[in-house]
Structure 1
């Protein structure tokens, strides 16, 4: 089932996500719905807070990035088919010199900005079967993980921008929270005026 994506300004996007257990209600269905919602919106990642749930769960499928002509054959191969579920994730370490990448977010449509992040990370998490993993990722996969991980910590990519950049975006962000934007996927806007 395709779920509405929560827009910028909703308090759930600023909440620290709670850890969950394997008996979380309808977890398999929730994960399936999150992937379906993400694909419907042409995303490569979706975190539970973006569908209104303040829990530590996000899904990723970097396959669309593998079609970028600027990548090497090896990079394309790494990104193609990389599909994961991250539950109760904890980034243990981030390494390397920060690099910029033009990021967007399904909760903040039509705004893209360069965000600086470190290129390599080590993360601990459990998958959809609650099997524990500790893995290292780098490049675009690390970038997507860092972006989605921020969501479960109540951080948006716009929080990482300079104060000046945030001021310049203020009106556009306000319009998003009011629903004054055209999107081709289902959204829930926190400040949208109720129609009478």
Structure 2
């Protein structure tokens, strides 16, 4: 994203970390080095997100347990939001709680009605260390909350209870990508 380039064009597509991998279920470390390695990771995250046809991607979804995510996501008015946040903090999640369809690149092909606030504010930094504040509404607010959850070691499945949670666990157990991994509540 330096010199006005299109994000991800210089990045490499990395393998996605799938549900059940321990890196998805542990809090990520703060970024302390805002150098070339971080810039390369952001490029790789964009390249991987675009290749997988996602709208957001957290670093632990490519096996890097650091607090970084990227997004290219519309809101409910179809306004495009494009960027990245390093060391994000979800400082507001308010408004109406909407149960809407939510998926995840780490649970490919699956989705479930997940409750999220329809407004969110995230504060953090750019890859060059500049402060940034990102406001989201509707679908984009859902994306911001989803990605911040990833960096806390949570996935959308952790928000599901009752029959929705049971149904998703059954779907994970049957998924071709699961390759025999257990699909218990805490994984």
TM-score w.r.t. the length of structure 2 is 0.83
Structure 2 partner of 1:185: none
Relative contact order (C-alpha < 8 Å, sep 6+): which is higher?
Answer: 1
Going from structure 1 to structure 2, the CA distance change for 1:151 and 1:190 (only over 3 Å counts) comes to farther
* Unaligned ranges ≥5, structure 2: 1-11, 183-187
Provide the rounded CA distance (Å) in 1 between the counterparts of 2:52 and 2:103.
12
Provide the rounded CA distance (Å) in 2 between the counterparts of 1:23 and 1:89.
14
Aligned residues: 171
Alignment of 1:118-129 (within 5 A): 118-129=117-128
Going from structure 1 to structure 2, the CA distance change for 1:190 and 1:8 (only over 3 Å counts) comes to farther
Provide the rounded CA distance (Å) in 2 between the counterparts of 1:90 and 1:190.
35
| Residue among 41, 47, 51 paired with 2:52 | 41
Provide the rounded CA distance (Å) in 2 between the counterparts of 1:55 and 1:114.
28
SS in 2 for 1:129: coil
TM-score w.r.t. the length of structure 1 is 0.79
1:92 aligns with 2:98: no
Q: Which 4+ runs in 1 deviate beyond 6 A?
A: none
Provide the rounded CA distance (Å) in 1 between the counterparts of 2:179 and 2:19.
8
Structure 2 partner of 1:184: none
Q: If you compute each CA radius of gyration, which structure gives the higher value, 1 or 2?
A: 1
Going from structure 1 to structure 2, the CA distance change for 1:22 and 1:190 (only over 3 Å counts) comes to farther
Deviations 1:72-102 (A, max 9, x none): xxx12x22xx211110000112111201221
Structure 2 partner of 1:51: 62
Alignment of 1:136-151 (within 5 A): 136-151=135-150
* Unaligned ranges ≥5, structure 1: 182-187
Q: C-alpha root-mean-square deviation of aligned residues, in Å?
A: 2.2
> Does structure 1 conserve the Cα–Cα contact (< 8 Å) formed by 2:118 and 2:137?
yes
Provide the rounded CA distance (Å) in 1 between the counterparts of 2:65 and 2:16.
13
